[in-house]
Amino acid sequence: MRKLHHLLEKNRRWAEGLVQKDPEHFHRLVRQQKPHYLWIGCSDSRVPANVIVDLPPGELFVHRNVANVVVHTDLNCLSVIQYAVEVLGVEHIIVCGHYGCGGVLAAIDGREHGLIDNWLRHIKDVYFRHRNVLDFLPDLSERADRLCELSVKQQVANVCHTTVVQNAWKAGRELVVHGWIYRLSDGIIRDLGVSVAAPAALPDIYRVEPDK
Ligand code: CO
């Protein structure tokens, strides 16, 4: 059996390096985690959450899946949101997509990919909702990039529609949901300017307590 010695070795050197810089680092983390941010991002190996915002262990609570999709029946993602908001008390939820996302491309390349096509249906739905814009872009790569942005905006809305987030707002908690996008070619994150901090912006049908 081939073993992964090199990874275990890298891990040991990494832990030693951290302790050298900050001898109490791991002792502090054992006692508690108190991250201020929940990160919802893509599983893509080129978009490692902590690394691209340069945060050490303990600072970021993370959920990642293919194409950073937030689905209202996905118990995995919903449980992460609930734990982050209700137990850890995060103040920010960041949905971070990225240009060149293989999941988003696979949703619109017109080919079959197996099981994952069921997951990517959520991306297809975003495309369909915005087809009047997307259909008229000159090529697949421009359509995909625009769809990456539009999907992040949709996932931000989906986070806001959860009862967990709305109940936090109802309880007067400060909680902001952000939509960001990362560019693989330069490592820069752009804020899409779709942050939501209160239920007022949500359509009534999705609100836990619509205006009467
Ligand atoms: Co991706």
Instruction: Give ion ligand 1 contacts, CB < 5 A.
Output: 42, 44, 101, 103
- Given this model, what pLDDT does residue 212 score? 53
101 is catalytic: yes
Q: Is the pLDDT of residue 139 over 60?
A: yes
Q: Is the pLDDT of residue 78 over 60?
A: yes
Nearest residue to 39 (alpha-carbon basis) of 186, 201, 177 = 177
Query: What's the gap in Å between 100 CA and the centre of ligand 1?
Result: 7
User: Rounded CA gap, 153 and 177, in Å?
Assistant: 10
Residue from 63, 77, 96, 101 carrying the catalytic annotation: 101
Nearest residue to 103 (alpha-carbon basis) of 89, 86, 117, 115 = 117
Residue from 44, 63, 148, 161 carrying the catalytic annotation: 44
Polymer length in residues for the chain: 212
Q: Is the pLDDT of residue 178 over 70?
A: yes
Query: What's the gap in Å between 42 CA and the centre of ligand 1?
Result: 5
Query: What's the gap in Å between 180 CA and the centre of ligand 1?
Result: 13
Q: Give the confidence band of 33 by pLDDT, cuts at 50, 70, 90.
A: confident
pTM above 0.75, yes or no: yes
Backbone angles phi, psi at 137, to 5 degrees: -75, 150
Q: How large is the average pLDDT for residues 55-84?
A: 97
Instruction: Report the percent of the chain where pLDDT is more than 70.
Output: 99
Residue from 63, 96, 98, 160 carrying the catalytic annotation: 98
- Given this model, what pLDDT does residue 2 score? 82
- Given this model, what pLDDT does residue 209 score? 77
User: Rounded CA gap, 106 and 117, in Å?
Assistant: 8
- Given this model, what pLDDT does residue 69 score? 98
Query: What's the gap in Å between 91 CA and the centre of ligand 1?
Result: 25
Lowest mean pLDDT among 27-41, 102-116, 152-166: 27-41
Residue from 12, 46, 72, 131 carrying the catalytic annotation: 46
Q: Is the pLDDT of residue 211 over 80?
A: no
User: Rounded CA gap, 154 and 72, in Å?
Assistant: 12
Q: How large is the average pLDDT for residues 61-81?
A: 98
User: Rounded CA gap, 18 and 52, in Å?
Assistant: 18
178 is catalytic: no
98 is catalytic: yes
Q: Is the pLDDT of residue 118 over 70?
A: yes
- Given this model, what pLDDT does residue 210 score? 63
How far, in Å, are 110, 113, 141 from residue 105 at the CA level? 9, 11, 8
22 is catalytic: no
Query: What's the gap in Å between 135 CA and the centre of ligand 1?
Result: 21
Query: What's the gap in Å between 21 CA and the centre of ligand 1?
Result: 33
If you search the block for the tokens 């007022």, which residue do you land on?
200
**Cβ contact 198:169 at 8 Å:** yes
- Share the mean pLDDT of the chain: 95
Q: What is the dihedral of CA 112, 116, 118, 123, to 10 degrees?
A: -90
